[in-house]
Structure 1
Amino acid sequence: MPVLRILLVVISVVFHVVLQLKRGNSLTADGLSLLSLKSAIDGGGSALTDWNEDDATPCHWSGISCMNISGSNDPRVVGITVSGKNLRGYIPSELGTLIYLRRLNLHGNNFYGSIPDQLFNASSLHSLFLYGNNLSGPLPPSICNLPRLQNLDLSNNSLSEALPKELRSCRQLQRLILARNKFSGNIPAGIFPELANLEQLDLSSNSFTGSIPEDIGELKSLTGTLNLSFNQFTGDIPKSLGDLPLTVSFDLRNNNLSGEIPQTGSFANQGPTAFLNNPMLCGFPLQKTCRNSSNNPPGVQSSSRDNEGVDSHKGLKPGLIILIAVADAIGVAFVGLVIVYLYWRRKDSGGCSCTGKVKFGGNEKRKLCAFPCVGAFPSNDSEIQSEKGVDGGGSGANGSEGDLVAIDKGFNFELDELLRASAYVLGKSGLGIVYKVVLGSGVPVAVRRLGEGGEQRYKEFVAEIQAIGRVKHPNIVRLRAYYWAPDEKLLISDFISNGNLASALHGRTGQASSSLSWGTRLKIAKGTARGLAYLHECSPRKFVHGDIKPSNILLDNDFQACISDFGLNRLINITGNNPSSSGGFIGGALPYLKSAQPERPNNYQSPEARIPGNRPTQKWDVYSFGVVLLELLTGKSPELSSPTTSTSTEIPDLVRWVRKGFEEENPLSDMVDPMLLKEVHAKKEVLAAFHVALACTEADPEVRPRMKTISENLEKI
């Protein structure tokens, strides 16, 4: 193999000497070095057709970037981007003569052979993207001869052997991605303490053995996910990983790790998926507890406490039996007192209807109780049948009666006031018609009509409503009350007066788009992230929204973001209504929505969300939020995509377009919304937000961070 390599180099040198003699040195030295890449590609003449040896300069060749360098007569090559072309060949050593080359991007091809040591003579290289090829051999130790190397992505190749200890010399390295190769052996100690600038580390899907290095906890600049999954690491998880920044997520799946998971520092922010498929691991957050462990997870007691008060031979102790009996008696007496109290309270209520029963559209007025009936005690058999969803009496026979229940105890109004008030249609789509209704007190509310008819699963409907009603957060639209009748279901929520994010970014139909400053956009992003983090982490059911997009992010007069529409798909399923017959947005002011719009693919959905049958997960919301954040940054909507048009504002895939821009190190001005270019001071903040968005839109859902982590990162900007 070395003999063949030397022969190829000699042939290449002879080839270029002949070219120089033949053409009178018309092509620059950089151009001659680039022709070595063309000759190293099988069928290079047809692949790189505009790389013409008769040109005076290579600066107009496809994939080549040049720059005028002081002290040089000719523009010098600073970038090579020949990616995604499925080219087959080897990487020629002559590229090392391009001393001003800063970026080499050959990803997504079929280059084979080893990475030549001579390549690292190109001392200006700071970004090397060779992922998605078939490169083999070891990682050259001389790679850290590059003093400016910041980005190294060699993933999806066949590189092998152990990592060289010389990696410690890459002190400017920010991204080290070696996933999906054949690296093996122990990771040498002493590498990571020297990589003070490292922000991304991905060593997943290799064959690394031994223990996880203790000094990996010294990567204080690390962000996103520390990915060591799908290797053969053994032993305990180092406690030093807890010293990593709190925003770092771990992915240690599919190894042979053992022992108890530490509970210090950043370990407290990790979910169970970070440690799956390590049979010998135990401790929180896994369900497997450790024997003789004094470090029990929160809310879990040790086995000795589980058996407290129990005699292993004789069952319950007599004293404990007496205590249980006394407690039961006290409980029964208390329930009886509550029932008597509610009976007399209802009797003396002076005509207050706890259920709000009244004929739909009738003249009878009954005040809605501030505190609805506890347990929904009906007053007669007819109301019992109504609660069960059985036709009978007044409510079931003609479908004209129902229950109006206030979820917020301070939300008092009369049913007739609601039903007879002037209503303004705000929108209609797949989740119900929405009206704006101004109550007698002058307070506007949004009333969503879920539709007529439907299955009568009252108790299930109420249980879901109560779960939604318990969600109280300033960045989430508040549900205030609901109305149930066999032929009518209404949801009453706060009215958010300033439209939604889609309107704010792109304007309403027929109007020019409005200008949102960077400060306002960042405020909206932070508010949305806080609301989603609350839904995921703190809400009663750990909700998954499932449909995050700008039209579901409402804005108040101060441009505070309010998330709408969570939990509605479940309610639609319970009522059994045809989604095509209704629509709208909870609390949304959407007069610009058309009632009959053609269905578009939801370009905010994650890749796994588009597979039929997959159940929604919180990582769906993370991806969708990332797309919304990219839209805030670029001003370009993925919903405007069209396969038949190619205008500058219509991008087939916003995520792919931004990722490509970062890989090719395009100027930030090429990607960011022109409206933001006026705010020069915001450049670093915008760049930080881009990195958050790219982490959210990773293709692998396990790699995406949690919304809590995302919110914390945005708050730091």
Structure 2
Amino acid sequence: MGMVLVSHSQARVRTHDKCAPLLPLPMMLQRNVLSDSAPILLSILLLFQNLTISSNQSDGSDGEVLLKFKASLDNPAALDTWAGPTAPCSGWKGVLCGQGRVWGLQLEGMGLHGAIDVETLAQLPGLRSLSFKNNDFEGALPNLTRHRSLKTVYLSNNKFSGEISDWAFSGMNSLKKLHLENNKFSGTIPATLTTAPRLIELALQDNVFEGEIPNFEQEGLKNFNVSNNRLVGQIPRSLSRLDASSFSGNDDLCGEPLEACPANYDGPTKYDYHDDRIRHHKFPETTIAVVAILLGAALIALLGVCIFLICRKKKSHQETAPAATAAAAAAPATEDLNQMERGGESAAPGGSEGGKPSVRLLTFLKEDSEKFDMQELLRASAEVLGGGVFGSTYKAGLNGKKMVVKRFKHMNQVSKEEFNEHMRRLGRMSHRNVQPIVAFYYKKEEKLLVTAFAENVSLAARLHGNQMSDHQSLDWTTRLKIVKGVAKGLLYLHNELPSLTPAHGHLKASNVLLDAAFTPLLTDYGLIPIINKEQAEESMVAYKSPEYKETGKLTKKTDVWCFGYLILEILTRKDSGVEQQADVDLATWVETAVANESSGYVAGAAVFDQEMAGGRHSQVEMMKLLRIGLSCCEADVEKRPEMKDVAEKVEEIKEREFDDDFYSSYASESDMLSSRGLSEDFRSINI
């Protein structure tokens, strides 16, 4: 009775054949000629076809752009082959083409100088590679952010100089190879290079970069060289696998693969970055004398301050009330947040100078989002939505707009710079099934994340919140929509955050929000790097996975395991038991129920939530989804499917209902036995 699902690759081939474009006239004539066996006419037609295609594909606009770029150079004569009437793809030196369009420029060792007009080159839509190495270009690094599709950039052996902005490579998600060696770049290594997910080569040697090496976590980064710079500090653990020559010529670097850092090493001081004389030269005696005099003067000044404070203390009782008022006005945001958490409006005074300390500034991650300051947020009417191990969540009303503020108290293991950078990285997420982070607030003891409010609250509340006055059960169509949306959002996070393992890390029903149309929105994603390890192990879903219990390590498939339990929870409306570490978890219960199912019903029908009711065809589709969920719950990571495969299989599940009979004998009981072993044959599930 069963049939085998067509694999994804087969489906693509069939679709391609079915939807093949109409052939151009010369090609159609070519087929007729073949059937008539006329070789001479065939040769003529093939020549005509090639000339036609070449003429059509050679876009004149590419030539105009390149000629404009040529004119911007100080010595355009070096590109003497760039001239009409020929097209760029017909002999222009250094122009790389594919299918009649320019995809790369390889202008190497041509003595070119001046500035690289990247604004003009941005008009080449197919540009993927730039190589200007071994020339005489100088000045600052060209602005490459307009070229986010570039895969390779070679600017080595020129005369570029100056500091490179931290945001110079923002959004360049396609960048694979970057060569800037043998120039005069200075300042710190741009932090946005650590967010280029596909980076495999980075050559920065023979410059004057200073500061510490950022933490590069890209798994594909194989060739990395920062030798002969002025870098200091400990080499990040993620780069310790590289050869020592990649770091040579930086006297103040330590850690694997170089010599170990001193036991009392506490990082470089500000002098390490700028003035080697402080480390390598003795101070002259006159300098020592001047320092001694200055210290003596400082002690005298300090004594004077102490006397002044003692005299002023006598008057302090007269100023108690004003001082208390000022202190209240300058109180840290923590007290106001405590007030909000108790369900009332913040007591923060509006408009007073004491109410605007720098620590209250919100950092916004979306340029198009409506801005508000910390004072407005603290004065907003608040409603506590819930509390958890990480902190509290509450809803705030701002100018008619509802926002959600999450207060975290267990993020003390990262510095402010690391936290800010990670938040900006998460702030770039943009997908219809991922809840964007609007703004954040940093304080050493606690942090705030601000997002928009979802009208239908969380999936957990809809599945288990019977206390809700407006509670309505979720039917099969809605639940399938939610599962498909979660799969898409999770796959997006895996693609956009390839260096995070796992990309979400805390996937559960309460972290899936639902908007007014029941579109799922993933939240609390990507937090593992900034949550304290002890708290994460105790509370985050990823740390309950079989692989972490067995090996102490998380993998990209840990999110798949979490997703599997979420699917089962959605279909059965039973708590997964993962966080509570129940004796019998949901996957085991489902397997047992299916194995004990009496004949005469669809295997496993009794495990489904009866409020999800659907017809016979829907019941079969539910069974397919149940199998997918169980395969994701596979304890063996090697047998567990990849997220990409899971998303594809989920997308194939149908929504339509054809029969009102909930139970059916369509499938046999044997279809569901050993469900958790299905992942080995995941691409050909029998249904």
Q: Do these two structures clear the TM 0.5 threshold for a shared fold by scoring above it?
A: no
Place the TM-score, normalised by the shorter chain, in its bin.
0.3 to 0.5
TM-score by length of 1: 0.42
Q: Which structure carries more helix by proportion?
A: 2
